[in-house]
Amino acid sequence: MKITDLKCALIGDSPIVRIVTDEGVSGYGQVETYKPYLGPIVMMLKPALIGQDPTHVERVMRRIRNRGGFKPWGAAVSAVEMALWDLAGKAAGLPVHKLLGGKVRDKVRVYNGAYRDPITGHNPEDYAAFATAMKARPEGFSIVKIPVAFHTTMTADVPDFFYGEHEQRAFHSHINRGLLTEKGLDHVVACVEAAKAVLGDEIGLALDCGPGWHLTDAIRFARAVEHLHLLWLEDLLTGDYVHWVNADVYRELTASTSTPIHTGEQIYLRQNFKSLIEGHAVNVVGPDPGDVGGIAELKWIAEYADLHGILMAPHGTGNGLLGIAALVQVSATMPDNYIALECPAGKPAWWYDIVEGFDDPIIVDGFIDVWDRPGMGIEFNIEKASQYLVAGDEDFFA
């Protein structure tokens, strides 16, 4: 089997990768919905792929891996990697999880991710209302993650929140950073306490915090919420679109508190997790398969983290329906340090009409059943999907 073409089409807000072969089998991958501009970057990889055997996934990846980088630039390479695994599974007649060593669990726990309504304000009563709505959702999540502080517009909406000037974010990045006032720190704690009072001990609470905190505030905050037994505090110091790791600073934070510390969604490749894992700089790592270099890269990091007593909670909120499939396949194979994956959704809702293969509902009691269909186990309904192709992409499925 040889690769004869690489195609990329914008469907909704996601660049969709299609790898075409001389045996009539195609593999698909999806770039995060927040990165509609990455199509040309995907297509730059085409000369390295043509003529290669897609079932030799690692050999092909060695040809393109050096073309990626920290979020968002690793997304193109990551989407191609997932399309290669989809192809390899279809060619073998096996689900991708069997190619990755086989599943160790028949269902994977997920947390809310893209399944949420916006928080209507940034006061304790707003967080209580959000938690109430999440608790009532039909998916039955046993873990809920809520954004706070620098991962929200608290910096603008709460007067005298921090010793800095609020700036409008650009390119989906969180650019505000500074020392919190005493009032600001107390306000964040009160919001978290209000949410946890609603969720009780029935639903675990994780917080998406930044980046933007200074180390001193991060330590104060982590200690202030120790009594709430949170699952983790995510991206306090770095994260999102920050192009460095700061493992030594994270290590000081993690050593100062019993509240678990989490980061990793922006990081590209296993090598850049080395200092976090070997230095025990965090308690939980959260690579995104759509940014880290793909699902095999994600599994390698999970295995290495497990050797060092570090937990795994993969990121993935914007990865779409193809991203759900990829996350389910790889999460089924991870060791017991796996907590839950951040679940993407189909947005707009017509995505559920153009992609086939999911159970309805997809999530039951906070879990997704792991399916055994070949490849990633889902397929486009080409007739329906073709209606959403934009000008210039009409031959994507041809």
Q: Which two tokens stand for residue 250?
A: 């994270």
pLDDT band at 136 (very low <50, low <70, confident <90, very high): very high
What per-residue confidence (pLDDT) applies to 173? 67
CA angle 15, 342, 56 (to 5 degrees): 55
pLDDT mean over 161-177: 83
What per-residue confidence (pLDDT) applies to 167? 85
pLDDT mean over 37-59: 98
Among 222, 313, 216, smallest CA distance to 261 is for 222
State the maximum Cα–Cα separation within the chain, in Å, rounded to a whole number: 64
Contacts 24+ apart (CB under 8 A), 300-303: 300/270, 301/270, 301/273, 301/277, 302/334, 302/335, 302/337, 302/338, 303/334, 303/335
What per-residue confidence (pLDDT) applies to 159? 95
* CA–CA distance, 63 with 269 (Å, rounded to integer): 15
| 320 phi/psi in degrees, rounded to 5 | 70, -175
* CA–CA distance, 270 with 77 (Å, rounded to integer): 14
- The pTM assigned to this predicted structure is 0.96
**b/e map 104-120, b = 16+ CB within 10 Å:** eeebbbbbbbbbbeebe
pLDDT mean over 106-125: 95
pLDDT above 90 for 170: no
What per-residue confidence (pLDDT) applies to 96? 98
What per-residue confidence (pLDDT) applies to 118? 86
Question: For 73, which DSSP code?
Answer: T
pLDDT above 90 for 166: no
What residue spans define the domains of the chain? 3-95+381-388, 99-375
Query: Domain 99-375 sits in which CATH superfamily?
Result: Enolase-like C-terminal domain (3.20.20.120)
What per-residue confidence (pLDDT) applies to 296? 98
Q: Which two tokens stand for residue 200?
A: 């009780």
Q: What is the pLDDT of residues 55-110, one digit of tens each?
A: 999 999 999 999 999 999 999 999 999 999 999 999 999 999 999 999 999 999 99
**CA 168 distance to own-chain centroid:** 24
Q: Across the strands, what pairs with 162? A: 180
Of 163-177, 204-218, 310-324, the poorest mean pLDDT is in: 163-177
pLDDT above 90 covers what percent of the chain? 96
Q: Which two tokens stand for residue 351?
A: 């995505």
Contacts 24+ apart (CB under 8 A), 151-156: 151/208, 151/209, 151/210, 151/212, 151/235, 152/119, 152/122, 153/122, 154/122, 154/184, 154/187, 154/188, 155/212
Q: What is the pLDDT of residues 318-368, one digit of tens each?
A: 999 999 999 999 999 999 999 999 999 999 999 999 999 999 999 999 999
The answer to whether 3-95+381-388 and 99-375 have equal CATH topology is no
pLDDT mean over 251-265: 98
Q: What CATH number matches the domain at 3-95+381-388, 3.40.390.10, 3.40.30.10, 3.40.50.720, 3.30.390.10?
A: 3.30.390.10
